Chains A and B, each alone.
Chain A
Amino acid sequence: MPDPIVVAEGLHKSFGNTHALRGLDLSVPRGTVCGVLGPNGAGKTTAVRILATLSDPDAGHARIAGYDVVRDAGKVRARIGLAGQYAAVDEKLTGRGNLRMFGRLSHLSRREAHRRADELLERFGLMDAADRQVAGYSGGMRRRLDLITSLILRPEVLFLDEPTTGLDPRSRGEIWDSVRELVAEGTTVLLTTQYLDEADQLADDIAVIDHGQVIATGTPDELKATIGDRLDVELEDPAALSTAATVLNALAGTEPTMTGADQLSVALSGGGFRLADIVRELDRAGVAAADVRLRRPTLDEVFLRLTDRKETVR
């Protein structure tokens, strides 16, 4: 395994009585995408801010490319890019004006800053809007501008805090494409998100955090495997729903979720379930099933299970 470029060890951070982080550990290998998942208030933004030198941990430490985020903050800043939860650009300037300004502030020469601005605008499809004021940009364009602003210095590590929240599917797809391109060039990306499909699409590894701690790590497939397959059952008659739920509960050992007026879904932890057995059990209880399917769980289901949001028949 290659050297991790982002390392966090035992990070703690409190705001008054709120313990935002309680011993968070992370390790991201160079050139990979790490997806940080967690419910609202889990501590994602707090962790990103510490890694990006915007905030100091109360305890623990973190290193980017070997440099401590507190002691060598300047060295860290020269190697990272950050695109936060909001588009952090000057709305009153044009897109080009923003890139040139941030380029100059990144200590590029005037010529180099201008050249880099044009290059990024061209490459990420904002050239047509380059000379318009950002205030008139759509949400997706702003986010894209924010993203490319953090690319001016070709960062080794890019932090993306919920880069597509509030965007329509097309703009999300465009951001995803941009991220994939960057990763193909060797950039390491740490991405927080609320959208599980986003992590599924982009991340090599996932860290699920809750209450300021990592509660699970692994590839999307590994995480899906930890909670076993899912069983979806569609009934012929919705009236049989509660009987079917009882049968499935007895079989799986957990309560099924209602996924439609006549549909149930349940996690099957451990293997050894055969479709034929399940159908027979339902039959014996007098439940007529229109459809019975075994499938891999979605990341959403993994997430809900891990973060302990109880799923039950309503």
Chain B
Amino acid sequence: MTALTPRLRWTFSDGLTLVGRELGRLRQEPGELVAALVFPAVMVVLFGYVFGSAIQVPGGGDYREYLMPGLFSMVTFSAVMAVMTRVATDASRGVMDRFRSMPMARLAVPFGQTGADSLIGLLMLAIMVGAGLLVGWQPHRGLLPTAGAFLLLMVLRYALSWVGVYVGLAVKNDQVADAMVPLFLPFTMLSNSFVPTDGMPGWLRFLADWNPVSALTAASRELFGNPGAPSGDVAWPLAHPVATVLLWSAALLVVFVPLSVRAYNRGGR
């Protein structure tokens, strides 16, 4: 056994303790779970029935079938905001400093935070899938592509949670973090999640087509066999959505894992 083994073991076990912490927080505040249940229901009703009645799905098909992959994307991208807020709160309340002053594994904090977010994300995705099934959405292409779609959603979520760690450590202030949360909405709306992009003015369409949210939504639609596959002259990310999402995930991890680990280790030095 090398000297690295106990350190790795502590990183893992401290990370698990921090995952347990997030679950403990959820248990203390069941209101957050209720909110997490209400949110998808509201979104499904609002988009599926209110806006959906006026939106034409490209190539025909049921709007709610078209919509659900967009809502899965929205839930996935919410990871950035959720993790950023949690990390910034820890940093501003001194909890982060307490971690740093303890003899615990250094990597455990960012890995614990992102690991916990994956569990929370899985729970939210499951709730969203339940809501989708209730309103008539379903995957059509069999087990493997369906599993692939969920895997893709979770992989990108994990990569995005590292962006959240970095931004949270950078802003350090829970009030600033809270003020940044509303930015999330235009970012996810400016995509193909709720309406097709071909009706948008040129520059806006360009932004929407290259928005990673659009690639994720397009990839889910493809893998679930839901309507709305773009046809004709489409931007590269939408023509190769699965590859685009994988590239984004890899790029985000390569950039933000080292940045976040460094920011955590250096914090306040």
Query: Which residues on A are within 8 Å of B, measured CB to CB?
Result: 49, 52-56, 74, 77-78, 80, 82, 84-94, 97, 101-102, 104-107, 133, 149-150, 153
Contact = CB atoms under 8 A, between A and B. Distances in A.
Nearest to B14: A105
A55 B98 CA distance: 13
A92 B20 contact: no
B102 A97 contact: no
B186 interface: no
B28 A94 contact: yes
Nearest to A97: B24
Interface stretch (B89-97, B121-129, B175-183): B89-97
Contact of B28 (A56, A97, A149): A97
Interface in B88-121: 93-95, 97-104, 108
27 contacts: A49-B268, A53-B100, A54-B268, A56-B269, A74-B103, A77-B101, A80-B101, A84-B97, A87-B94, A88-B93, A88-B94, A88-B98, A89-B98, A90-B25, A90-B95, A91-B93, A92-B28, A92-B29, A93-B21, A93-B28, A101-B24, A102-B98, A104-B17, A105-B99, A106-B102, A107-B10, A149-B98
A105 B99 CA distance: 8
Interface centre among B29, B97, B100, B101 (most CB of A within 10 A): B101
B101 to A, nearest CB: 5
A74 B102 CA distance: 8
**6 shortest A-B CB distances, which residue pairs?**
A88-B94, A92-B25, A77-B103, A78-B103, A88-B98, A104-B17
Contacts of A86: 93-94
A107 B95 contact: no
A133 B24 CA distance: 11
A88 B97 contact: yes
A150 B101 CA distance: 10
Interface in B11-64: 13-14, 17-18, 20-21, 24-25, 28-29
B20 A101 contact: yes
A82 B98 contact: yes
Contacts of B29: 92, 133
A94 B27 CA distance: 11
Interface of B: 10, 13-14, 17-18, 20-21, 24-25, 28-29, 93-95, 97-104, 108, 268-269
Contacts of A91: 93
Contacts of A55: 268-269
B17 A105 contact: yes
Contacts of B18: 105
Contacts of A106: 102-104
B94 A105 contact: no
Nearest to A149: B98
A104 B104 CA distance: 9
Nearest to A79: B103
Given A55-B269, A87-B94, A91-B93, 19 more contacts: A49-B268, A54-B97, A54-B100, A54-B101, A54-B268, A55-B268, A56-B269, A77-B102, A82-B101, A85-B94, A88-B94, A97-B28, A101-B20, A101-B21, A105-B102, A106-B103, A107-B104, A133-B29, A153-B103
Nearest to B92: A86
A102 to B, nearest CB: 7
Nearest to A57: B269
Nearest to A91: B93
A113 B168 CA distance: 29
A106 B100 CA distance: 11
A89 B95 contact: yes
Interface centre among B10, B20, B98, B104 (most CB of A within 10 A): B98
A82 to B, nearest CB: 5
A74 B101 CA distance: 9
A105 B18 CA distance: 8
B6 to A, nearest CB: 10
Contacts of B98: 82, 84, 88-89, 102, 149-150
Interface centre among B10, B18, B21, B108 (most CB of A within 10 A): B21
A150 to B, nearest CB: 8
Contacts of B103: 74, 77-78, 106-107, 153
B152 to A, nearest CB: 31
Contacts of B20: 101
